[in-house]
């Protein structure tokens, strides 16, 4: 039987406790700032903020806080920014109803879940990553262990798993029942003449061009905050991931990205998430950036690194991400573009600078991302290049549009 949300909350609470991170503050609609190491009595040196992909708002802790709120509460109580966001994304990794990462991640074509993650720590200029990791549902923490305990940056496959077990991570060979059912549904629809009977359609979700609910309204559906869509056969697909970036009151910065990768991928496929400079990048003098979406498109432009470099040149996070999206289009092969030059895929980028300014951008309108600062946890609209989400549309508005 598929794990329930209640089962997940209990598991997530225990796993978070195992991180041996600072005590977590009591949830509050508006976080109260508490002094942390290096802060003066005069107050904060900057503006603490945590940003992430939208699933960082959807997945909740045992006490009901969004994952991004957990990270922010830890940050403002003095936790290291990387410790805070690794704990934040772990809430999502252990959520069995999120099919883009960790425990609930959709498997590869062989029915095996292979997980990727990477992280960077601005103050120490260090990084760690794992790829094609099996049976360990929290790859972000394993990536941080690679950073903390080795002179390497990336471990992959069986070597990554062997390292994780040596570091005390617990093996979990169970495949999430709901994710396994999605794999069977995908397999049954591959060939109409094979011996597999087609399974019923998957869960319904809003059509791509349906009106979007107002952020923070009670009309927001869980599915609207996930990077999972269902095709005309009812088969689930995802490029799903969570990227989370943080800057604390001292201006120290960290970034992390974790994923189960492209659904039904070839065994051993690695996307952008574990690649430093692609899936995420952090420079303590400038800011951090990360990505979710089609990894193959992002790898070719080193999107996270490029965004940070644009911010180094003086661009705002918003301007930097739009420039990165334009570079993606310039580097996209013709088979992936429609007759109007619009891609048959989407990418989402996220960025925050040292001052606490932040933004997220996508190719098509309708995407959202999560934010937590002194105003509390919420979702906001991404800036975008094209109106509409279907590249088959004939009317193209290629102007950069800032959401209202």
Burial per residue of 200-232, b for 16 or more beta-carbon CB atoms within 10 angstroms, e otherwise: eebeebeeeeeebeebeeeebeeebbbbbbbee
pLDDT for residue 323: 97
pLDDT for residue 200: 52
- Count of all residues that appear for the chain in the document: 404
| C-alpha to C-alpha distances, 301 to 4, 52, 154, 192, nearest whole angstrom | 39, 21, 20, 38
How many other CB atoms are found less than 10 A from the CB of residue 44?
18
How many other CB atoms are found less than 10 A from the CB of residue 374?
15
Which domains are seen in the chain, by residue range? Answer: 5-20+44-178+203-386 (3.60.20.30)
What are the E-state strand segments in 223-375? 228-230, 236-238, 241-247, 253-259, 280-283, 287-293, 347-353, 358-364, 368-373
Q: Is 402 helix (H, G, I), strand (E, B) or coil?
A: coil
DSSP 8-state code for residue 311: H
**Nearest alpha carbon to residue 28 among 80, 83, 66, 85:** 66
pLDDT means per 10 residues in the chain (404 residues)? 46 44 32 31 64 94 96 97 98 89 84 92 98 95 98 98 96 70 63 52 41 42 50 50 95 96 84 96 98 92 98 97 96 89 89 97 91 96 81 42 55
pTM for the whole structure: 0.78
Work out whether strand 280-283 and strand 287-293 pair parallel, antiparallel, or are unpaired.
Answer: antiparallel
Among left, alpha and beta (phi > 0; psi -120 to 50; other), residue 268 is left
Which of the residues 11, 61, 238, 241 is marked catalytic? Answer: 241
How many other CB atoms are found less than 10 A from the CB of residue 2?
13
How many other CB atoms are found less than 10 A from the CB of residue 184?
12
Q: What are phi and psi of 16, to 5 degrees?
A: -60, -40
C-alpha to C-alpha distance for 92 and 100, rounded to whole angstroms: 9
Which secondary-structure segment (H or E) carries 383? Answer: strand 383-386
Write the burial class of residue 82 (CB in 10 Å: 0-12 exposed, 13-18 middle, 19+ buried). buried
Q: Is 241 a catalytic residue?
A: yes
**Nearest alpha carbon to residue 202 among 223, 189, 185:** 185
**Which are the contacts of 376, defined by CB distance < 8 A and separation ≥ 6?**
28, 29, 30, 31, 69
CB 284 within 8 A of CB 123: yes
pLDDT for residue 192: 56
C-alpha to C-alpha distance for 293 and 53, rounded to whole angstroms: 10
How many other CB atoms are found less than 10 A from the CB of residue 189?
17
Q: What are phi and psi of 248, to 5 degrees?
A: -95, -175
C-alpha to C-alpha distance for 150 and 163, rounded to whole angstroms: 10
pLDDT for residue 153: 98
**Which are the contacts of 48, defined by CB distance < 8 A and separation ≥ 6?**
33, 72, 75, 76, 246, 247, 248, 249, 356, 373, 374
C-alpha to C-alpha distance for 16 and 86, rounded to whole angstroms: 10
Work out whether strand 383-386 and strand 358-364 pair parallel, antiparallel, or are unpaired.
Answer: parallel
Sign of CA dihedral 56, 59, 62, 65: positive
C-alpha to C-alpha distance for 149 and 130, rounded to whole angstroms: 13
Write the burial class of residue 127 (CB in 10 Å: 0-12 exposed, 13-18 middle, 19+ buried). buried
């Amino acid at each position: 039987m598929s794990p329930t949300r209640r089962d997940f909350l209990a598991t997530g609470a225990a796993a978070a406790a195992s991180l041996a991170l600072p005590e977590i503050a009591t949830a509050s609609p508006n976080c109260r700032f508490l002094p942390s190491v290096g802060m003066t009595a005069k107050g904060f040196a900057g503006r603490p903020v945590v940003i992430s992909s939208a699933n960082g708002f959807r997945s909740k802790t045992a006490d009901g806080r969004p994952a991004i709120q957990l990270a922010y509460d830890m940050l403002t109580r003095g936790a290291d920014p990387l410790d805070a966001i690794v704990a934040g994304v772990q809430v999502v990794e252990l959520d069995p109803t999120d099919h883009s990462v960790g425990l609930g991640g959709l498997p590869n074509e062989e029915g095996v879940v292979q997980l990727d993650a990477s992280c960077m720590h601005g103050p120490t200029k260090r990084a760690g990553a794992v790829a094609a990791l099996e049976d360990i549902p929290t790859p972000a923490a394993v990536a941080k262990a690679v950073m903390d305990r080795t002179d390497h940056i990336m471990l992959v496959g069986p070597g990554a798993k062997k390292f994780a077990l040596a570091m005390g991570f617990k093996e979990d060979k169970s495949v999430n029942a709901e994710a396994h059912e999605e794999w069977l549904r995908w397999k049954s629809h591959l060939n109409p003449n094979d011996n597999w009977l087609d399974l019923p359609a998957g869960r319904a979700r809003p059509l791509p061009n349906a009106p979007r609910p107002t952020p923070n309204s009670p009309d927001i559906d869980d599915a609207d905050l996930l990077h999972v869509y269902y095709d005309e056969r009812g088969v689930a697909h995802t490029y799903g991931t969570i990227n989370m970036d943080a800057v604390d009151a001292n201006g120290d910065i960290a970034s992390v990205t974790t994923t189960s990768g492209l659904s039904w991928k070839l065994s051993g496929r690695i996307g952008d998430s574990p690649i430093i400079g692609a899936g995420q990048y952090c420079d303590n003098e400038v800011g951090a950036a990360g990505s979710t979406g089609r990894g193959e498109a992002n790898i070719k432009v080193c999107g996270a690194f490029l965004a940070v470099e644009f911010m180094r040149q003086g661009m705002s996070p918003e301007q930097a991400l739009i420039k990165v999206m334009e570079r993606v289009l310039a580097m996209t092969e013709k088979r992936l573009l429609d007759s109007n030059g619009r891609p048959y895929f989407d990418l989402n980028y996220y960025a925050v600078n040292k001052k606490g300014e932040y933004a997220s951008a996508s190719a098509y309108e309708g995407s959202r991302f999560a934010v937590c600062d002194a105003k509390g946890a919420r979702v906001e609209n991404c800036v975008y290049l094209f109106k509409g989400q279907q590249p088959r549309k004939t009317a193209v508005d290629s102007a950069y549009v800032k959401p209202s």
